[in-house]
Amino acid sequence: MKKRLLSVLLATGMVATTLVGCTAGGSGNKKVGVAMPTKDLQRWNQDGANMEKQLKEAGYDVDLQYASNDINTQVTQIENMITSGCDVLVIASIDGDSLGTVLDQAKQKNIPVIAYDRLIMNSDAVTYYATFDNYMVGTKQGQYIEEQLGLKDGKGPYNMEIFTGDPGDNNARFFYGGAMDVLNPYIDNGQIVVPSGQIDFDTVATANWASDAAQARMEAIISSNYADGTQLDAVLCSNDSTAFGVTNALVANYTGAYPIITGQDCDIANVKNMIAGKQSMSIFKDTRTLATQTVKMVDAILKGTNAPVNDTSTYDNGKKVVPSYLCEPVFADVNNYKELLIDSGYYTADQLQ
């Protein structure tokens, strides 16, 4: 009887809708929630787009959300991902300390959590961490200044100022630490001088990595320390948004020879500045690489196996040491940006004109 009824339904097409419905969005498809902090910075748009594309190509449904740099919005978005049945959460947090309560809900439902690029702090619900080697990012920035100024050869003294990122972003401390471990010996021996006296992390941090905040602080530093013609030789900027603000301040207010300026993310506006000689370098973190690695981690989790990691000791979030996969960053400057950014297909030549 059942076989006869099924044959009738198949013959009339009545069962087709039911079967399709079960395949799309039903138990056959796993769903991944991807929480990004903001669309205001170019890099997060690229991260989100790369993640969504690769996850869909791997056969997963994707709920991608941007939170406009508002913590409460991000919390609500993650809550909705949990209640809507996401099987894994990939989260680039706005504030690493703000998600403990909502991630407790994920833990109660046995939903694995991958912290993406920014480590989520003080939560034992974080399963894995996918990022670039953030300490190495800072190290490469510090080494670039070291090499360009000839510090290993004893040259100096040189004047330098320092800009790092949001104090709520754990990565900012790694960027700062990596760079300052290279440069502090030269500050201590007098080869590098910081005329503003602004050196410690809390003083040089930039809320929300905001370009306008970096610009305002740089303008104040120029007015107080360089208006008399004092030469500025280098500005350590942890990323491109702070570098962009610093550059704007220099163009409008500084008349000396242009300093070395570091950055990170290879944002289009900053690469254009680099080509024009207004920024010296930017750390290139190919978001396609990070997205690929994160998709591998998601795939392993949903197949019931351990995700690939290459670091099990560095990233302590206050509750646990989070198993991590660290991708290696490289730096781009005027000498190699075409190979890294254009030849690789990351940008087109027209985008950088």
226: which 2 tokens?
Answer: 């360089």
Nearest to 291 by CA among 87, 54, 78, 127: 54
Q: Which of 1-10, 142-151, 219-228, 285-294 has the lowest mean pLDDT?
A: 1-10
Cα separation, 109 vs 172, in Å, equals 31
pLDDT of 43:
86
Q: Judge whether 238 and 163 are in contact, CB under 8 Å.
A: yes
| pLDDT higher than threshold 50 for residue 7 | no
pLDDT in tens, 307-332: 999 999 999 999 999 999 999 999 99
pTM reported for the whole predicted model: 0.82
CB 281 within 8 A of CB 274: yes
Are the C-beta atoms of residues 55 and 32 closer than 8 Å to each other? Answer: yes
**17 pLDDT exceeds 50?**
no
DSSP, collapsed to helix, strand or coil, labels residue 300 as: helix
CB within 8 A of 184, min separation 6: which ones? none
pLDDT at 320: 97
The span from the CA of 220 to the CA of 196, in Å, is 10
Q: What CATH architecture is 134-285?
A: 3-Layer(aba) Sandwich (3.40)
By mean pLDDT, which of 41-45, 55-59, 182-186, 328-332 is the weakest? 41-45
Q: Assess whether the previous peptide bond of 157 is cis (omega < 30° from 0).
A: yes
Which distant-in-sequence residues (6+ apart) come within 8 Å of 98 by Cβ? 71, 74, 75, 168
Structure tokens at 40: 């205001």
The closest of 259, 63, 206, 235 to 141, measured between CA atoms, is: 235
Residues of the chain with CATH 3.40.50.2300: 8-132+287-327, 134-285
Q: Say what the pLDDT of residue 39 is.
A: 93
What pLDDT is attached to residue 12? 35
Fold of 8-132+287-327: Rossmann fold (3.40.50)
pLDDT tens, 71-126?
Answer: 999 999 999 999 999 999 999 999 989 999 999 999 999 999 999 999 999 999 99
Q: Report whether pLDDT(10) > 60.
A: no
For residue 337 the two structure tokens come to 């940006």
- The residue written with tokens 């206050």 in the block is 318
Helix (H) or strand (E) holding 46: helix 42-57
For 61: left if phi > 0, alpha if psi spans -120 to 50, otherwise beta; the answer is beta
Which of residues 147 and 9 earns the better pLDDT score?
147
